[in-house]
Structure 1
Amino acid sequence: MDCRTGSLNLPNLLTLGRIACIPLLVSFLFFDGRGSSFGAALIFSLAAITDWLDGYLARKWQVVTVLGKFLDPLADKLIVMAALIMLIPLGRVPAWAVFVILAREIIITGLRSIAATEGIVIAASNLGKYKTILQMVAIIGLLLHYDYYWFFGMRYEWLHVSMHRIGLVYFYLALALTLWSGIDYLVKFFRVINR
C-alpha cells in the first residue's frame, strides 16, 4: 500500500498518532515530579513535531484529504486542551485562562460549522497559526516546569533556568494572541455572513 494515497495516508496516520498520544500524555500528568514532567514534555514535543510534519507531507505529496482537514485541527485542539486541563490541578496554569482558551476554540469551531453549512469557507489566518505555535512552546515550558542548570548538571546560579517562568511568559503571549485571533475571526465571520 502506498503511504501517499487514500484516507489513511502517512500525514493522516501521523495526525492519528498525535491523537493516540493524548492518553499517554495525560497518564504522565497524573503524577507530579521531574521524571513524569519530562516524559510529558517529550510526548508533547513529539506530537508538536508531527503537527508540522503531517502538514508538510500533505502539501508536498498533494494528498490533502477531507479526513485530514477534519483531523488535523481536531488533534491540535485535543492535545493542547488535554495538556492545559491537566496542568490546572498541578498549579502550573490559572484555570480562568484555560477556560478563555477553551471557550475561544469552541466558539470559533461552532462559527466555522455554521459558515460551512452556508457553503462559506473562512480561511485560517496567520494569527491562528502563530497562536498554536506559541501555545505549544508555552506548554512544553510548563510541562518541564522545574528549574534547570544547563551546564552538565553543575549548579551555577547564572546558568539557572526556570522553565515554569519561561512557559508562563509564552502562555500569556499565547493567551493574548488567542483573544486577538478570536476577535479577528469573529469580525471576518460577521463580515462574510452579512454579505
Structure 2
Amino acid sequence: MNLPNILTIIRIFMLFPIVILIEVNAFLSGILFILAVFTDYLDGKIARRYNKISDLGKFLDPLADKILVLGILVYFVWLKYFSPWIVILILFREFMVTGLRLSLVQKGIVLPALKSGKLKTFFQDFSILLYLWNLPFKYILLMISLVLTLYSGFYYFYKYGKEIF
C-alpha cells in the first residue's frame, strides 16, 4: 500500500458520511464532497510525482470515482431530485467504458483518461455540489454533464473500440 492508494480508498469510504449528511447538514456534506474530489487530484499528483503508480491504483482510482459519483446520484434519485433515467444513462456509460477498459487490459492496452472523460467528471462533480448546496443552475449543469458523459463514452468506443472488435 502506498499513499495514493490509501487516498483512493479513503475517497471510496467518504461516500457514506457524504450521503448521511445530505439531509442533516448539506453544507458539511458539500465540504466533504469537495475533500473527496480533492483526494482524486491529490492521489494522481502524488503517484506521478513520486513514481507510486501501481496496478492497484490504476484499477481503484476510476472505481473510486464511480462509487462516489454514482452513489450520490442514486441517493439524489431516491430523494426525487431528478428522474432515474439520468442515472441509468450514466450507469450505462460507466459499465460500457469499464467493460472496454477490461477488454483492452486483456490485450495489454491501458485505456487512458481522455480530456472528454475529465471534462465529464468536472461537470458531474460541479453539478453534484450544486445539488448538495441547492444552488441555481444545478439541473442545467447535470444535463451538460449527462451530454458530456454520453459523448465521452461514445468517443472512447470510437477511439479504442476497434481494438476489441
TM-score (norm 2): 0.93
Aligned length: 165
- For 1:126-137, list aligned pairs within 5 A: 126-137=115-126
Q: Is the 8 A contact 2:123 2:144 kept in 1?
A: yes
The Cα of 1:185 is off from its aligned counterpart by 0.9
- For 1:163-182, list aligned pairs within 5 A: 163=135, 165-182=136-153
What CA deviation, in whole Å up to 9, does each residue of 1:30-57 have, x standing for no partner? x3xxx52222212111101111111111
The letter of the residue matching 1:128 is G
**Structure with a larger share of its residues in helix:** 2
TM-score (norm 1): 0.79
Q: Is the 8 A contact 2:4 2:44 kept in 1?
A: yes
Identical counterparts, % of pairs? 39
Q: Root-mean-square deviation (CA), in Å? A: 1.4
Q: Which of 60, 85, 91 is residue 49 of structure 2 equivalent to?
A: 60
Q: Is the 8 A contact 2:100 2:161 kept in 1?
A: no
The Cα of 1:190 is off from its aligned counterpart by 2.5
The Cα of 1:26 is off from its aligned counterpart by 2.2
C-alpha distance in 2 between matches for 1:21 and 1:93:
23
Q: Is the 8 A contact 1:122 1:188 kept in 2?
A: no
Runs of at least 5 residues in structure 2 that lack an aligned partner in the other structure = none
User: Is 1:17 matched up with 2:10?
Assistant: yes
- For 1:177-192, list aligned pairs within 5 A: 177-192=148-163
Moved over 6 A (4+): none
Q: Which moved more, 1:172-181 or 1:19-28?
A: 19-28
Q: Is the 8 A contact 1:88 1:94 kept in 2?
A: yes
Q: Which of 92, 95, 99 is residue 103 of structure 1 equivalent to?
A: 92
Runs of at least 5 residues in structure 1 that lack an aligned partner in the other structure = 1-7, 146-162
